[in-house]
């Protein structure tokens, strides 16, 4: 198990990025959270098996239809043993 913190830059708010990220995470077994930041970025904390996390991060690099991801910051973090995946408002 691994955990990563992602900060996603670009046109990522107002395009259902949080909802799509949550649906994708739940579908593939990732736990953690997603939220919008005041600076226009989207923040994701994701925990799971490394192979699945790699697939999830690759998806985040593109995002849902309508998103235009310009850059993604990725940092490994300690596990928090999250339960489920949630959207923080």
- HSE (CB half, 13 Å, CA atoms) of 44? 31
The span from the CA of 47 to the CA of 5, in Å, is 9
37 belongs to the catalytic site: no
18 belongs to the catalytic site: yes
Catalytic residue among 36, 37, 38, 77: 36
Helix or strand run (H / E) with residue 20:
helix 17-28
Catalytic residue among 18, 35, 38, 77: 18
Residues labelled as active-site residues: 18, 36
């Amino acid at each position: 198990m691994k955990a990563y913190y992602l900060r996603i830059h670009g046109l990522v708010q107002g395009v259902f990025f949080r909802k799509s990220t949550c649906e994708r995470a739940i579908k593939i077994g990732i736990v953690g959270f997603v939220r919008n930041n005041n600076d226009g970025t989207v923040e994701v904390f994701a925990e799971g098996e490394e192979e699945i996390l790699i697939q999830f991060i690759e998806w985040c690099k593109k995002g849902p239809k309508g998103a235009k991801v310009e850059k993604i910051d990725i940092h490994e973090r300690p596990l928090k043993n999250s339960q489920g995946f949630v959207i923080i408002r």
